[in-house]
């Protein structure tokens, strides 16, 4: 396989609040390749968005990257560690919206209500390419057409509140593409949308990826979307990457008890009517009350007393591509 | 099984006002000729895209808003026509479970006060009697009685939803209206609440109207499903029939868009073009025709009636008996 375009190495991002330290991302490593989609999945608060924001160096205070590397392979083949760049420096700003594009969950709060979508696109285009206003406007219309917005010549002068949720999310994708990125990070890009509109946006991301060999990080809590879109998957729980592997292995040979429990508990359109779901006992612990040992042990049906509640599990490789952080995998070699 | 709720030709128009004099310049047809029944012990789900009229339908049934026309027969009485005073005893019998367990509970009341309030308001003034009933309700929703004197902020989303359910059950209702009750919850907690709702309903024989946009959840909870599109029911059927052999092109597209949590079943989806229609200016004829892959010229002019195609399975499509559509249990998946 080619070299990864982005490599995250043992990333730790913490928030230092008055009440204590939230270890929002606490040891995550993964590789992203051109033309591939990496899915990051997990329940609320597990650190998906903070991972994305760390990569872009836009973590809000009182949070900061404590350790780790974010290695971006540039177009010229050199490698830049994003962690070492000043977050507000020229280079980090050029990479944000340039080589790495971002689509957020809520288009309403990320799009300005005071500027037309055209002006926002023109600004984004000119930030990363030396174009005249007129050229940039033509490019903006081109971008709107590319993301499937009907009548782009007219829509370019519309305000975001004049558009439906689906069209707004397409504008967000157009904005993310303005800097000709090689990496696209989409954080819950379809969570606020109807299934029919979700299908449109996912199809759009898929086709853009095919055409431009984009590397995509798709963040979602929806296992269905992951199954549909991802090549590789990272499963997170309480800031920890508990399992990662190819999508087929994650769904058909999951290693971590949390992955297994999560898969059993999701509702399925193929279920029998009135069929009950398997449940995971308890709920996600409060970020300030992270359990000792394995973060999942209080809810784990397979936990080993005296081990899982005491020691943090290492990550074990299983085969060439799959790995999970669970004591159960620590079997002496046969 | 007896019919608890019988909704007939329900209509709700919202006036659109414009200009200096706030003249009514048009109407949003939020609910347009909606009819269905729900039996005791039965869950009927209402599904459809945002703005299709699901919440408006539920609010009319609860008489939170007055319907424009139609009948809402609840235990034989027409809720749509009763005066406020006459409504009171009926209101006790129909309870609501909300989407957002965070904003629907009063932060200054303890759990025992929150669940006991409807009891107190309805005349159960004896504290010991009330506390006993509250304890019983907590047990019903599987919360420890040690929680009685805590405040809602100390609870997780799933626990708050259990509290909301306990409160709704306090007065032995015969109908529960649940508007997106699990959409704000995490997957692992959602499963707990879905199971709880199935169990309680089986145990208490409640009729339930379940409003949701997640078709996977709907498959798990419902006996029957009604699909709405721009204020109208376009298909209503027993759950299994609706998912396996939909009769309306919109239902087919909706089902096809649901992501299946299995990478080996990646499907070629029907991707609907365009947006859901505007209920203040719906398309002529069949409202779905501009997005329908089966539409003919006739569909632009004729309004399709809701026609029964099998027992209990009705469809609002002019071409229902000519076209054959794919469901999710059948062979539309690849691999
Ligand atoms: N600005 C902040 N200050 C303090 N803590 C924060 C801040 N932003 C995030 N966190 C904490 O970091 C943890 C991870 O949050 P993050 O937003 O990454 O979760 P997520 O996986 O994206 O969840 P969701 O599915 O709800 O979007 C959470 O415990 C959250 O409370
Ligand atoms: N009080 C109101 N005044 C005017 N229009 C309204 C009012 N309430 C609802 N509507 C309109 O009626 C239509 C139906 O809205 P409703 O809230 O019933 O949809 P819904 O199916 O519940 O959607 P969602 O899935 O987004 O909750 C929408 O077009 C909405 O804008
Ligand atoms: S009536 Fe015509 S347009 Fe409407 S759903 Fe049927 S085929 Fe499609
Ligand atoms: Mg997030
Ligand atoms: Mg609603």
**What would the pLDDT profile of A232-264 be if each residue is shown by its tens digit?**
999 999 999 999 999 999 999 999 999 999 999
Phi and psi dihedrals of B309, rounded to 5? -105, -15
The verdict on residue B139 lying in a domain is no
The residues in A 76-135 lying below 8 A from B, measured between CB atoms, are none
Render A101-166 in DSSP notation, one character per residue: EEE-S-HHHHS-SSS-HHHHHHHHHHHHS---HHHHHHHHHHHHHHTT-SSHHHHTT--GGGS-HH
The verdict on residue B234 lying in a domain is no
The verdict on residue B201 lying in a domain is no
Of all residues in chain B, the one with the smallest CA distance to A225 is: B259
Residues in chain A within 8 Å Cβ distance of B264: 248, 251-252
| pLDDT by position in tens, chain B (length 335) | 699 999 999 999 999 887 777 788 888 999 999 999 999 999 999 999 988 999 999 999 999 999 999 999 998 899 999 988 888 889 899 999 987 766 778 889 999 999 999 999 988 999 999 999 999 999 999 888 888 888 888 787 888 899 999 999 999 999 999 999 998 888 888 999 999 999 999 999 999 999 998 999 999 999 999 999 999 999 999 999 999 999 999 999 999 999 999 999 887 788 888 777 888 889 999 999 999 999 999 999 999 999 999 999 999 999 999 999 999 874 433 33
**Residue B158 pLDDT:** 85
Q: What is the CA angle B210-B212-B218, rounded to 5?
A: 75
CA distances, A239 to each of A40, A200, A323, B141 (Å): 12, 31, 16, 31
Range of the domain at B252: 245-335
CB neighbour list of residue A87: distance below 8 Å, 6 or more residues apart: A57, A58, A59
Distance (angstroms) between ligand 3 centre and the Cα of B20 equals 40
- CA–CA dist B334, B152 (Å, integer): 47
pLDDT at A108 over 70: no
A276 with B198: Cβ contact below 8 A = yes
Q: Which two tokens mark B289?
A: 């025709």
Residues in chain B within 8 Å Cβ distance of A276: 194-195, 198-199, 220
Q: Tell the residue nearest (CA) to atom 12 of ligand 2.
A: B30
CB pairs under 8 A between A and B: 153
The verdict on residue B11 lying in a domain is no
Q: Which two tokens mark A252?
A: 């058909």
**Cβ–Cβ contacts within 10 Å for residue A72, how many?**
21
pTM to 2 decimals? 0.91
**Mean predicted lDDT score pLDDT of chain A:** 92
Tell me how far apart the terminal alpha carbons of chain B are, to the nearest angstrom: 43
Question: Which among B227, B283, B294, B296 is the best mutation to test ligand 3's pocket, defined by most ligand atoms within 8 Å of the CB?
Answer: B294
Q: What is the pLDDT of residues A210-224, one digit of tens each?
A: 999 999 999 999 999
Contact of A227 with chain B, judged by CB distance below 8 Å, is answered with: yes
Can you point out the beta strands (E) in chain A? 6-17, 20-32, 37-41, 63-73, 79-81, 100-103, 183-187, 215-220, 232-237, 240-246, 315-318, 322-325
Q: Using CB atoms, which residue from B220, B254, B275 is nearest to A277?
A: B220
**Is A35 exposed, middle or buried, given 0-12, 13-18 or 19+ CB atoms closer than 10 A?**
middle
The verdict on residue B266 lying in a domain is yes
Tally of domains in chain B: 1
**Residue A146 pLDDT:** 86
pLDDT class for A106, splitting at 50, 70, 90? low
**Residue A109 pLDDT:** 67
The verdict on residue B215 lying in a domain is no
The verdict on residue B263 lying in a domain is yes
Residues in chain B within 8 Å Cβ distance of A227: 259-263, 265-266
Q: Using CB atoms, which residue from B192, B213, B220 is nearest to A194?
A: B213
Distance (angstroms) between ligand 3 centre and the Cα of B9 equals 21
The verdict on residue B112 lying in a domain is no
pLDDT class for A333, splitting at 50, 70, 90? low
**Residue B332 pLDDT:** 39
The answer to whether the CB of A214 falls within 8 A of the CB of A38 is no
Of all residues in chain A, the one with the smallest CA distance to B202 is: A274
Q: Is A60 helix (H, G, I), strand (E, B) or coil?
A: coil
pLDDT at A334 over 60: no
**Residue A332 pLDDT:** 63
The answer to whether the CB of A304 falls within 8 A of the CB of A249 is no
**Residue B334 pLDDT:** 37
């Amino acid at each position: 396989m080619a070299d990864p375009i982005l490599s995250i190495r043992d990333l730790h991002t913490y928030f230092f609040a008055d009440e204590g330290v939230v270890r929002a991302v606490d040891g995550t490593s993964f590789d992203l390749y051109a033309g591939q989609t990496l899915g990051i999945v997990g329940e609320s608060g597990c650190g998906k968005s903070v991972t994305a924001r760390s990569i872009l160096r836009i973590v809000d205070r009182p949070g900061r990257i404590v350790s780790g590397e974010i290695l971006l392979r540039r177009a010229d083949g050199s490698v830049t560690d994003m962690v070492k760049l000043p977050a507000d420096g020229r280079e980090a700003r050029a990479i944000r919206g340039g080589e790495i594009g971002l689509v957020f969950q809520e288009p309403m709060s990320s799009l300005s209500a005071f500027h037309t979508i055209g002006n926002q696109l023109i600004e984004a285009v000119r930030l990363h390419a030396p174009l005249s206003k007129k050229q940039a406007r033509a490019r903006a219309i081109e971008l709107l057409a590319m993301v499937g917005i009907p009548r782009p010549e007219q829509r370019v002068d519309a305000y975001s509140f004049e558009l439906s949720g689906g069209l707004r999310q397409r504008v967000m994708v157009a904005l993310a593409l303005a800097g000709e990125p090689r990496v696209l990070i989409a954080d819950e890009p379809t969570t606020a949308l109807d299934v029919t509109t979700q299908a449109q946006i996912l199809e759009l991301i898929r086709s853009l990826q095919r055409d431009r060999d984009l590397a995509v990080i798709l963040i979602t809590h929806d296992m269905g979307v992951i199954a549909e879109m991802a090549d590789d998957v990272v499963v997170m729980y309480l800031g920890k990457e508990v399992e990662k592997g190819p999508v087929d292995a994650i769904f058909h040979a999951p290693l971590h008890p949390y992955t297994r429990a999560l898969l059993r508990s999701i509702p399925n359109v193929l279920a029998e009517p009135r069929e009950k779901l398997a449940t995971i006992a308890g709920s996600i612990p409060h970020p300030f009350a992270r359990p000792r040992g394995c973060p999942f042990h209080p809810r784990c049906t397979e936990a080993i007393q005296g081990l899982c509640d005491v020691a943090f599990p290492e990550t074990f490789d299983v085969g060439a591509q799959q790995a999970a952080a669970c004591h159960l995998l620590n079997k002496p070699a046969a | 099984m007896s019919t608890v709720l019988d909704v007939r030709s329900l209509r709700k128009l919202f006036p659109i006002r414009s200009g200096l004099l706030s003249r009514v310049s048009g109407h949003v047809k939020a609910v347009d000729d909606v009819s269905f029944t729900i039996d005791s012990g039965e869950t009927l789900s209402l599904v459809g895209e945002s703005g299709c009229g699901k919440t408006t339908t539920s609010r009319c049934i609860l008489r939170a808003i007055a319907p424009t026309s139609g009948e809402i027969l609840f235990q034989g009485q027409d809720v749509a026509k009763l005066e406020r005073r006459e409504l009171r005893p009926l209101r006790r019998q129909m309870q609501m479970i909300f989407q957002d367990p965070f904003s629907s509970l009063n932060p200054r009341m303890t759990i025992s006060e929150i669940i006991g309030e409807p009891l107190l308001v309805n005349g159960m003034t004896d504290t010991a009697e009330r506390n006993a009933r509250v304890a019983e309700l907590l047990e019903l929703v599987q919360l420890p009685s040690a929680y009685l004197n805590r405040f809602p902020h100390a609870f997780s989303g799933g626990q708050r939803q259990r509290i909301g359910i306990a409160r709704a059950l306090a007065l032995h209702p015969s109908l529960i209206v649940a508007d997106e009750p699990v959409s704000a919850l995490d997957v692992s907690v959602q499963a707990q609440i879905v199971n709880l709702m199935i169990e309680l309903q089986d145990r208490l024989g409640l009729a339930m109207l379940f409003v949701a946009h997640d078709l996977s959840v709907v498959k798990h909870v419902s006996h029957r499903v009604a699909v709405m599109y721009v204020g109208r029911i376009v298909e209503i059927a027993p759950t299994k029939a609706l998912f396996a052999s939909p009769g309306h092109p919109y239902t087919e597209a909706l089902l096809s868009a649901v992501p299946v949590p299995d990478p080996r079943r990646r499907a070629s989806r029907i991707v609907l073009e365009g947006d859901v229609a505007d209920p203040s200016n719906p398309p002529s004829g069949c409202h779905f025709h501009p997005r329908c892959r089966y539409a003919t010229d006739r569909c632009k002019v004729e309004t399709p009636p809701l026609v029964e195609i099998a027992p209990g399975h009705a469809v609002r499509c002019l071409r229902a008996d000519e076209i054959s559509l794919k469901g999710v249990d059948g062979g539309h998946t690849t691999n």
